[in-house]
Amino acid sequence: MEEMKKISLIEKYTVPSESNFFKLDANENLVLDKDFLTKISINSLKKTDLRKYPIELYERLYKKLSNYLDVSVGSLVLGSGSDQIIDLLLTLLGRGRRLASIYPTFSYFKTRCQLHGIDVSELKLSAIDNSLDSEKFIEDAKKSHAAYLCSPNNPTGNQFEKSKILRIVGSLKRTLVIVDEAYVEFAKYSLIKCVKEYPNLVVLRTFSKGLALAGARIGYMVANEKLADLFKNRIQLPYAVNSLSLAIAISLISNPKKVEKSIALIKDERDRMYESLSKIKKINVYKSDANFLFVRCNKKYNRIIEALENSKILVKGLGNIDTYGNCIRITVGTKKVNNKILSVFNNIQLTK
């Protein structure tokens, strides 16, 4: 009972609401045509025998994914969303251990650390340009059993320089470094090819964001083959992903043109939104390498959220983030919805 009391004090995960709003609060890819995915899903269901465990489908997705990413099958481990892989990694790390991270970052990761009794230390990013002091991070991580970095970072949207991250990974040879690349399809580089060289590096990836399959719950990790083998065959559940999700994922990456086009469109729209929002006084928007924009609303936070809500636009209100002040995170949507957001911002009188 004592343990339950402690758990009840951990911040509750509030599931983003499903309403008649334009949902721009969870960084899903809502630009890819829904009917296209429905068609793939129906065809996948027709080809799937739900009476059987997904042995063959697992093999096929591992092979397809290995080709798609150009990494070995042996370096991949699938999971039920990257959330589930995060949980396994934290189980492995164990109660009473210490983990080095940054602030702000993916808040759910910290919540799970609390549940697993892992002590998280957080190095603050610079509120000026979201940059990371890699030397300070290394210093802190040397006192820790593991480190977590999100690349590009949620919610700030920036990807730290590749040389900085590799310096961190290379300086912490005895520490597990988890690099969460949930938004990498929108970014400049990935570290998946570096796992051969750095056995302490684990890269987390997902089908939920760029690949538009948040509802299918498929994530994966890319790691050195020895670590991946340990994970796949001793730690991970044998069938963490169901047959239908596996079949849909196989189909999507066998014919990735449409989804890749939607990613390119989101990137263009993100940059256009950034240019427009940076002209608005009283707010600060940061350049993004992801599919969302991080906006400091300063004193206009409540007014901005209210105006967006009145236009039926749901964004992620992040509240007060230390030296950043009150911030929101907006997922980049279709051109039409993005124009709506821009007109809301342009219509609010952002004067004193």
* Residues at the contact surface with ligand PLP, assessed by CB under 6 A: 27, 81-83, 106, 150, 154, 180, 182, 206, 208, 214, 219
Residue number with the shortest CB distance to ligand PLP? Answer: 81
Nearer to ligand PLP (CB atom), residue 29 or residue 75: 29
Min dist. Cβ of residue 187 to ligand PLP (A): 12
Please enumerate in sequence order all residues whose Cβ is within 8 A of that of 212, keeping only pairs 6 or more positions apart, or say none: 28, 29, 30, 31, 32, 37, 252, 259, 262
Min dist. Cβ of residue 99 to ligand PLP (A): 15
Min dist. Cβ of residue 287 to ligand PLP (A): 18
Whether residue 182 contacts residue 211, with contact meaning beta carbons closer than 8 Å, is answered with no
Min dist. Cβ of residue 321 to ligand PLP (A): 16
Nearer to ligand PLP (CB atom), residue 205 or residue 300: 205
Min dist. Cβ of residue 339 to ligand PLP (A): 25
Min dist. Cβ of residue 220 to ligand PLP (A): 9
Three-class SS of the chain: CHHHHHHHCCCCCCCCCCCCCEEECCCCCCCCCHHHHHHHHHHHHHHCCCCCCCHHHHHHHHHHHHHHHCCCHHHEEEECHHHHHHHHHHHHHCCCCEEEEEECCCHHHHHHHHHCCCEEEEEECCCCCCCCCHHHHHHHHCCCCEEEEECCCCCCCCCCCHHHHHHHHHHCCCCEEEEECCCHHHCCCCCHHHCCCCCCEEEEEECCCCCCCHHHCCEEEEECHHHHHHHHHHHCCCCCCCHHHHHHHHHHHHCCHHHHHHHHHHHHHHHHHHHHHHCCCCCEECCCCCCEEEEECHHHHHHHHHHHHHCCEEEEEEEEEHHHEEEEEEECCCHHHHHHHHHHHHHCCCCC
Quote the CA–CA distance of 123 and 141 in Å, as a whole number.
10
Nearer to ligand PLP (CB atom), residue 106 or residue 160: 106
Quote the CA–CA distance of 344 and 346 in Å, as a whole number.
5
Min dist. Cβ of residue 218 to ligand PLP (A): 7
Q: What is the C-alpha R_g of the chain?
A: 20
Min dist. Cβ of residue 75 to ligand PLP (A): 18
Nearer to ligand PLP (CB atom), residue 83 or residue 269: 83
Three-class SS of 127-154: CCCCCCCHHHHHHHHCCCCEEEEECCCC
Nearer to ligand PLP (CB atom), residue 53 or residue 108: 108
Nearer to ligand PLP (CB atom), residue 83 or residue 140: 83
Nearer to ligand PLP (CB atom), residue 179 or residue 300: 179
Nearer to ligand PLP (CB atom), residue 27 or residue 262: 27
Min dist. Cβ of residue 161 to ligand PLP (A): 19
Nearer to ligand PLP (CB atom), residue 99 or residue 345: 99
Nearer to ligand PLP (CB atom), residue 153 or residue 300: 153
Min dist. Cβ of residue 66 to ligand PLP (A): 19
